[in-house]
Structure 1
Amino acid sequence: MSALCAEVDRPRAVVVAVHGGATTARYFDLPGLPRLSLLRLGARLGFTVLALDRPGYGASEPYEDAFDAPERRADATYRTIDALLGTDSRGAGVFLMAHSAGCDLAVNMAADPRGSSLLGVELAGTGRRKHPEALRRIDEVRRTRRSTAVRDLLWQPEAVYPSELVGGRAVSSASPPYESTVVREWPADFPRLAPQIQVPVRFSYAEYEQVWRCDPEALAEITGFFTACPRFVTYRQPDTGHNISVSYAVESYHRSVFLFVEDCVRGRPAGDCRAEEPTS
């Protein structure tokens, strides 16, 4: 597996970012647009940031068929984090940040027994029930086979994004075959896995989110899934759409993520978390 890495000495914590569908780790550090970069901001604030190419993307694309099982994807990602960090300092620990289809990976990782050692989890661009506009667009695709109908929805309203990014061409990538299964099964997997998460969770949504319902009723339902986590909060990011991390509101959003990580750090005992030395 491959990743983009911004490491600092004596980090406050390590933030591991996982991208959504049909894109790559570059979503969090776009060439020529450093002001949008999660990695660069995180390093300035004292965090090590790893943006991973999810299983089946980037360097692991040739092995996409090996990742059909969610447990395999979670295990591969935990192993990748350990390989990238080695015995370097992890500060207070590892925090997962996920967007859109990447939330499937983050939730599976957090629900895994190893998830109890995480600092916390950020979930954005997801939900349980589709927005009415998304349902209309999906129906349009079925009737007209206009495949761009749903993709266009991800970039609305266009005014909140740099013009060169609208439509996703600058960040697009082929998706592995398992992604269609993730999309289909997520509404059932989300409420099944969420009660197993035992670390703080923040659920973020955009003001102009049109893929997932984020109305009070939908948010109350999602909140009810997280019965075991010690803290669950929701966060609304103004002036942006589904692709929060590549919009003009990105710095405000990313700073809010790091503030939540700081809250999680303060909730942990003082001390430095490091990987164990490998044994022969």
Structure 2
Amino acid sequence: MSEGPVPTPRVVLVDGVPMSGLLACPADAAPTAVVVAIHGGATTGAYFDCPGHPRLSLLRLGARLGYTVLALDRPGFGSSALYAEEFTDPARRTEMTYGAIDAILGDRDRGAGLFVLAHSNGTELALQLAAHPDRGRQLLGVEISGTGLNQQEAAAAVLSSASITNVPTGLRELLWEPAELYPDGIAGAVRIKAGPISPGYEGGLVANWAATVTELAARVRVPVRYTMAEFERVWAADDAALGEVAALFTAAPDVRTTRQLNGGHNLSLGHTAAAYHLSALAFAEECRVRRTSETRATTDVTMEAN
């Protein structure tokens, strides 16, 4: 069976700043919808195209199943890394991200619309997109993973000394263990290797994480799914912790929590990545059907009124 189209690197100018990402489109038909994938810290959109393991790639799987998949480099990463100081304002990051999506997709068919999937630090940007006063409600839904409200005690001790230039001892164990969950060498294959591992604004973002996520979640008005890895070592992962995050989305019409068995923090790079991506795309499909049904119902009511 085909592993799906090979993703294409894309760079576009948005307000004079180069924004980059990877794009994979269905080969022979218009897309069902567009999945916008947003990576976490210390990597780029390549996170969603597992190097050397195309079967684990969200980009290739999504395109093979009829979705256009765009794995963006977040503002301050990839081609925009040299402009990182311009992105301290979250509103600026949000507008630049929407601008990059529009510029890269161009006049391509978007199917039913945009669905956002985010990992770890990328969750903040995903929620910013979903909370946007104009475009947020147009999203089909949001999938988040590798995040939470409260860190596990051991993780908090390790991460207290982390910075954009310092990788503390013990971080690898938090993010990449148990090792048997991942292909050999994958951590080094996706990690930023030169210069700061993340833009400067990430320090403040991480320091205020719980308050930021809480505020943004209350403004999300589209369906949300929150996936916790079975072997998550950064975030509190018990049932109470999952429920606490789900309870933040007070305005969302549908909020779900689930666990990915045999998964570690970096779900899109482990041996169960294909299983995780299939479940996330199944949720995206449910969101698409929901939106289509809502649109049809609104149209029927309008026609009856006329």
TM-score of the aligned structures, taking structure 2 as reference length? 0.84
Q: Which has the higher contact order (CA 8 A, sep 6+)?
A: 1
Matched, 1:169 2:188: yes
Match of 1:59 among 79, 94, 105: 79
Supply the distance in 1 between the matched residues of 2:156 and 2:209 (Cα, whole angstroms): 16
Residue type at the aligned position of 1:73 = R
Q: CA deviation at 1:146?
A: 7.5
Matched, 1:158 2:158: no
Question: In the alignment, is the contact (CA less than 8 A) between 1:39 and 1:51 conserved in 2?
Answer: yes
Match of 1:6 among 7, 12, 24: 24
Supply the distance in 1 between the matched residues of 2:167 and 2:143 (Cα, whole angstroms): 33
Q: CA deviation at 1:197?
A: 0.2
Q: Which residue of 2 aligns with 1:82?
A: 102
Aligned positions of 1:26-175 closer than 5 A:
26-113=46-133, 114-138=135-159, 147-165=168-186, 168-173=187-192, 174-175=197-198
Q: 1:148 to 1:268 in 2, by over 3 A?
A: same
Supply the distance in 2 between the matched residues of 1:59 and 1:264 (Cα, whole angstroms): 32
Q: CA deviation at 1:156?
A: 1.1
Q: 1:140 to 1:19 in 2, by over 3 A?
A: closer
Q: CA deviation at 1:148?
A: 2.8
Supply the distance in 1 between the matched residues of 2:167 and 2:251 (Cα, whole angstroms): 42
Residue by residue over 1:50-73, the C-alpha shift from the partner in whole angstroms, topping out at 9 and shown as x without a partner, is 000000011111111100111111
Question: In the alignment, is the contact (CA less than 8 A) between 1:13 and 1:48 conserved in 2?
Answer: yes
Q: How many residues align?
A: 268
Matched, 1:251 2:274: yes
Question: What are the ranges of 5 or more consecutive residues in structure 2 without an aligned counterpart?
Answer: 1-18, 296-306
Q: CA deviation at 1:151?
A: 3.2
Q: 1:75 to 1:237 in 2, by over 3 A?
A: same
Residue by residue over 1:222-246, the C-alpha shift from the partner in whole angstroms, topping out at 9 and shown as x without a partner, is 1211110000000100001100000
Residue by residue over 1:103-156, the C-alpha shift from the partner in whole angstroms, topping out at 9 and shown as x without a partner, is 0110111111111100000010000000122124346879xx982322331001
Supply the distance in 1 between the matched residues of 2:242 and 2:49 (Cα, whole angstroms): 30
Supply the distance in 1 between the matched residues of 2:99 and 2:73 (Cα, whole angstroms): 13
Question: What are the ranges of 5 or more consecutive residues in structure 1 without an aligned counterpart?
Answer: 272-280
Q: 1:141 to 1:117 in 2, by over 3 A?
A: closer
Supply the distance in 2 between the matched residues of 1:140 and 1:54 (Cα, whole angstroms): 23
Moved over 4 A (4+): 139-142
Aligned to 1:148, what secondary structure does the other structure show?
coil
